[in-house]
Amino acid sequence: MTASAMVAEFDDVAGWTADAVEQLGVRHAIPAACRGSASPAALAWLAEACELATGMRLLDVGAGVGGPAAWAAERFGVRPILLEPMPTARRAAQRLFGFPVIAADGRRIPLRAGSVDAAWCLGVLCTVRDKAAVLGEIHRVLKPGASLGLSVVVARRPQTLLAPDGNLFPTEDELTALLAEAGFDLLEQVDQPKGAPLSWARRVEQVAAVVATRHQGHPAYALAARQGERFARLFAAGQIATRLVHAVSRPA
């Protein structure tokens, strides 16, 4: 992704989102901080597939503002470890949820080999050119036999489409091959369930409305909005889809 589009979408809007949550109240935090379009149904699928349980160390690579990790901590009692390269997104996650956030790139995870019980990487791989390096690092830090939950935007056909800036959508076959090469067995995958209950969607909309009122004149807002519109067109045309994936780390 180009630097400016990435900073607009994943850093500027992340900070504005945390500001809006602080104005609207804490019940808005998790829905608004799920910035990979995750819904409770998608998160529940991933959590059940990965058999998350109290006390497990869950690494969230590309954690953004921390909504999915906070949801997993609240509902399943995991101990989240967030990793996020964008500074304002990291500060937003710390402000909203108080989690420690590792400042790092998924291609170089500063954790010991075999130190993590489960990992998530949601809405991240399509923004990363070197997907093999990210998956290889996640495999290194996971315990043998541990679960990886992914949410990945895939291209229905090998990529001929005009992707939003910097996005490189793998096909399902490419994703399967990448996982196998990184040392994962792919156990199961499904289309991401559509929609979220009104209670969730309304909070997301209220936060988005505050962000729009305050920042719609800002160039970064326009850039992020354009990215969103291009995504929406590709989804509507059936050229891309979001898949939820459960894979397990093969012992080395």
Ligand X SMILES: C[S@@+](CC[C@H](N)C(=O)[O-])C[C@H]1O[C@@H](n2cnc3c(N)ncnc32)[C@H](O)[C@@H]1O
- Residues lying near ligand X in the complex (CB under 6 A) are found at 10, 34-36, 38, 61-64, 67-68, 84-86, 89, 105-107, 122-124, 127-128
Q: Which is nearer to ligand X, 38 or 248 (CB)?
A: 38
Q: Which is nearer to ligand X, 36 or 136 (CB)?
A: 36
Residue 24, C-beta contacts closer than 8 angstroms, at least 6 positions apart: 203, 206, 207, 210
Query: Nearest approach, Cβ of 170 to ligand X (angstroms)?
Result: 15
Residue 113: which of 59, 175, 49 has the closest Cα?
A: 59
Query: Nearest approach, Cβ of 136 to ligand X (angstroms)?
Result: 13
The C-alpha atoms of residue 174 and residue 15 are separated, in whole angstroms, by 34
Query: Nearest approach, Cβ of 35 to ligand X (angstroms)?
Result: 4
> Could you tell me the two tokens for 194?
């559509």
For 56-189, where are the alpha helices, taking DSSP H only? 67-76, 87-97, 131-141, 172-182
Query: Nearest approach, Cβ of 126 to ligand X (angstroms)?
Result: 8
Q: Which is nearer to ligand X, 46 or 146 (CB)?
A: 46
The C-alpha atoms of residue 222 and residue 214 are separated, in whole angstroms, by 13
Q: Which is nearer to ligand X, 84 or 117 (CB)?
A: 84
Q: Which is nearer to ligand X, 34 or 72 (CB)?
A: 34
Query: Nearest approach, Cβ of 130 to ligand X (angstroms)?
Result: 8
How many other C-beta atoms can be found within 10 angstroms of the C-beta atom of residue 173? 10
